[in-house]
Homo-oligomer: A and B are copies of this chain.
Amino acid sequence: MSQPKKRRPLTLRDVSEASGVSEMTVSRVLRNRGDVSAATREKVLTAAKTLGYVPNKIAGGLASQQVNLVAVVIPSLANLVFPDVLSGISAELDDTPLQPVIGVTNYSPAREETVLYDMLSWRPSGVILAGLEHSRGARAMLEAVAVPVVEIMDVDGDVIDCAVGISHLQAGRQMAAEILAAGYRRIGFIGTHMPEDHRAKKRLAGFEAALAEAGVALAAREFYQGGSSLAKGRELTERILARERDLEFLYYSNDMIGAGGLLWAREQGYDIPGKLGLAGFNGVDLLDGLPIRLATTDARRQDIGRRAARIVAGKEPRPEGGKLILAPHFLPGETIRAPGSGIGVRQE
């Protein structure tokens, strides 16, 4: 074979020589900038394609002091929720020159800081990152940066530049209201133990606050470490019900463990939603195929991604007061009774 292989990368100069046009004009053609005659344009394009020239964005970025990257920093990819956020982001960035670059922190603040440092060293045109809680170092970097910074998912707390998300406090309160309205009173909560799962913590806080206002205390809670899975949901559900046999409702911190609990409880013959109600959180589409639909809250993941991307792309102004608050949507499913259908009003 005599194809050109593994050579020195081509430069603008190569295209310039091949087409007999100045580097500057070649550059203009390749970026569709300024007026270039159709003739030279053609020559350049042909030469570039023939040679297989790929522009060097490193050099371009340095020269133009502009890098069309958006740093996106999220806790995990194994989570089912972040791919949705990402798809919202890329959908909205697709018709702009901006490109998302993903960094994963594994829920570690220290790792978040290093990931952020690495990403900022590429001088991106914007930053989107999950959550409102960051290390001092991370905050300092984000405050010093000269580009839009959008914190996503959560709006309960202090914002660096601006935030797009739902109020998890409100989501918790909302679910509590629905559960109470359906007449359930002996309620348990199952969630992660992760110290860094601030959003789950806020949901629980809102949930308990709303229960308390109705004179109801959480009857049991069960925490776990590590990732969420159907298996974990089964195990935890069995455990909490073994401890507190008379629970009437279980509120899970995410749909995956909720789905596991649902499968388990059905196998055990629990009357759902009659004697035992269940609810998760997120609104993942995995729920579509379960034997019955788990009640949940749509966390507006895709919308959050879209709106955040729109702000970074300048399609939408930075929200007033820095917070763009989306409403969590309650999805009743089939694991919670209809409102007012409860056994007793208030306890006994």
Q: For A56, list chain B residues within 8 Å (CB).
A: 121, 123
0/1 string, A188-214, CB within 8 A of B gives 1: 000000000000000000000000000
The reply on A240 being an interface residue by CB < 8 A is no
Q: For A145, list chain B residues within 8 Å (CB).
A: 6
Which residues 272-309 of A have a CB within 8 angstroms of B? 285-286, 288-291
The reply on A67 being an interface residue by CB < 8 A is yes
Q: For A52, list chain B residues within 8 Å (CB).
A: 140-141, 144
Q: Is the CB of B229 within 8 A of A58?
A: no
The reply on A62 being an interface residue by CB < 8 A is yes
Cα A288 to Cα B290 with chains together (Å): 15
If A62-B58, A99-B118, A104-B90 touch, does A9 touch B123 (CB 8 Å cutoff)? yes
If A58-B122, A263-B290, A288-B231 touch, does A6 touch B140 (CB 8 Å cutoff)? no
Which residues 251-274 of A have a CB within 8 angstroms of B? 259-260, 263, 267
**Partner pick for A86 among B54, B77, B140, CB 8 A cutoff:** B77
**Partner pick for A146 among B7, B83, B117, CB 8 A cutoff:** B7
Q: For A326, list chain B residues within 8 Å (CB).
A: none
Cα A301 to Cα B84 with chains together (Å): 21
Q: Is the CB of A102 within 8 A of B102?
A: yes
Closest CB of chain B to A18's CB: distance in Å? 15
Identify the closest chain B residue to A118 (Cβ).
B99
The reply on A120 being an interface residue by CB < 8 A is yes
Q: Is the CB of A234 within 8 A of B141?
A: no
If A78-B83, A87-B77, A104-B90 touch, does A288 touch B3 (CB 8 Å cutoff)? no
The reply on A183 being an interface residue by CB < 8 A is no
Closest CB of chain B to A177's CB: distance in Å? 29
Q: Is the CB of A122 within 8 A of B57?
A: yes
Closest CB of chain B to A288's CB: distance in Å? 4
Cα A2 to Cα B298 with chains together (Å): 41
Which residues 225-249 of A have a CB within 8 angstroms of B? 229-234
The reply on A342 being an interface residue by CB < 8 A is no
22 A-B pairs (CB sep. < 8 Å): A4-B144, A5-B143, A5-B144, A6-B144, A6-B145, A9-B146, A52-B140, A54-B120, A54-B121, A54-B141, A57-B123, A58-B123, A83-B83, A101-B101, A101-B102, A230-B289, A231-B285, A234-B289, A260-B289, A263-B289, A263-B291, A267-B291
The 3 closest A-B pairs by CB, nearest first: A230-B289, A231-B288, A231-B289
**In the complex, given contacts A58-B61, A58-B67, what are 12 additional A-B residue pairs having Cβ atoms less than 8 angstroms apart?**
A3-B143, A54-B120, A55-B121, A56-B121, A58-B58, A58-B62, A58-B123, A59-B62, A90-B104, A229-B285, A231-B285, A234-B289
